[in-house]
Structure 1
Amino acid sequence: MHEIDVVGIGNAIVDVLCQADDAFLERHDLTKGAMMLVDAEQASRLYAAMPPGVEVSGGSAANTMAGIAALGGKGAFIGKVRDDQLGEVFAHDIRSIGLSFMTPPLLEGAPTGRCLIVVTPDAQRTMNTFLGAAIDLTAEDINPEVIRAAKITYLEGYLWDPEAAKAAFRKALDVAHAGGRKVALTLSDSFCVDRHRDEFRALVDQVDIVFANEAEILSLYQVATFDEALHAVRKAGTLAVLTRSEQGSVILDGDDVHVIGAERGVNVLDTTGAGDLYAAGFLAGLTSGKPLAQCGRMGAIAAAEAISHMGARPQVDLAALVAEKLG
């Protein structure tokens, strides 16, 4: 297989997005800005109550890979769908943007996963995820040839729950490092960190790059301030890429610290996918040899585009936008 920039491993799901007010969240006992796992019955009930919206292929790592493709990078995605209508939609969508997707679908069992996203007027997104077939990813789905071909393997923290998926991640990590390749991990959500704190700390020590927002990194190390979190993650010796919403981002590489400002003048409509697209911009820059500060700037530009519209996938020529902004 020819060399590729990034292979993403994560939940293959379809996003269902709608706009609603805070009262809707209260009626359905939803915590604003959080991600909750729901079962099939809960998903059906909430879906029936949601106002009209849009349905697009999603999933955190898949969104990142879509951003990398939009920036001209070469990529692949590994994730599990069912052989149903949504599974076919997901596969078509991700292949249509130039990504390799060869994971065989489930032939029986849970349907393709979906994430029900409620966006409130303040642009906060509240996610309710039915993982469905996504959690049936196994080590057998990890193609060593694809991992060895990728400069970076990107692991989605949302998927770190089923034992089979953990085994898949560990296999990918081992194959990548054995081949002299790098591995990146996104912590995904404070919900995930709270559930798997000790394991995530161990993973951060093993991977080469960690992506996290401020709440996630504070939760990981159970500290009260961002400076304390920086001190803690520095000890791990891992390249840390930490986003802070309107305060921009911080890139920590040993004793080197790069502070990247957020993009200004953005009309924020939906924060869904901001972190995913930041990671896309950063990884696209890193795999093309850009210095860390420029990688962070690319991440900030991609994130700003994502939050300017509904949905996490780019809606403009992202490569042209980045080129224009960077001058």
Structure 2
Amino acid sequence: MIANFSISCVHIFIVLYILAIEVKYGLAGHGEFRRDYTYTPEAKGWIKFHRVPAPWLEARLKCYYEGAVLMSPVNEQLYAVMRNLMLSRADASFTGVQSLTSTGDYISIEGINLLQMPIQWAKGEPDNLNDTERCLAILPDGSISDTKCEQVRTYMCYKEKTGDETITECGTSDKEYTLDNRTGSCYKFHPDCVTWWRAHMACSSEGGYLVIINSEFEAKLLNERYATKKIKCHELRFIHVGFLNPYSDRAYWFTVDGKRLEDAGYDRWAQNEPNNVAGTENCGSLLRNNEGFNDWPCNDYLPFVCEIPIHNRKN
């Protein structure tokens, strides 16, 4: 009995010790950066393994919108962590290292030259097969190979700990999101002009969605906040918002959370809209002067607003 009691005490001590380590390094909770990232002490930062494959350029942008970078083996510690993450994988994953601007001159997202990286090449690599392989991938055995950037692969995003990461009342460490208690949502204005699809991806990557307007009050709020904001394209009148018509039948407009537009709480169209000019206007936009919705080509470029809902709306 005494021996069993001692063993039980040892087990309890080990469990408590592990929990203490997890709390210390943010592993037991959600960490301080993002809830979908895991803090890794060896990497001195947070990591997310994206199991849904993408081309290299899309992977880079996904990490960017998440507030991170496409992970690269820029030092021994990060390379070791990447190798460990690859042990259970069946195929290669992208790194953040590429030579898109100059063949063979590989550089990481952070601007670190490949010559400074402690990598091990796979047998026969790099070979720049058919002069088409400009990106680097890590194989399941931890070695590195060049590969086509256009291929779709899994990838890792990495955020180095700087000490400035704190999750705000908006549920994100992105300090550009600001809460309005009257609507119960946080908002972020993107002055960069992109397609509706890219705006949707950006907001989703940031932990929210392309803004869904649920009331006249919220439409007015967006107008007051963003009508005079400087933007980075020639089209000054509109912003992308979160609804579209994915069908040829013009009767069905849906918000990005799956509701019929008329059930979302606000469906006021501007005068003579929607008019489907040239048969190409399938995505939603809002006139920045608060005159209502407008249909707009999904592949045209506009600024946009992202929304993160926090609590029950009062308006």
Alignment TM class, shorter chain as reference: under 0.3
Q: Greater helix percent: which structure?
A: 1
**TM-score scaled by structure 2?**
0.26
**TM-score scaled by structure 1?**
0.26
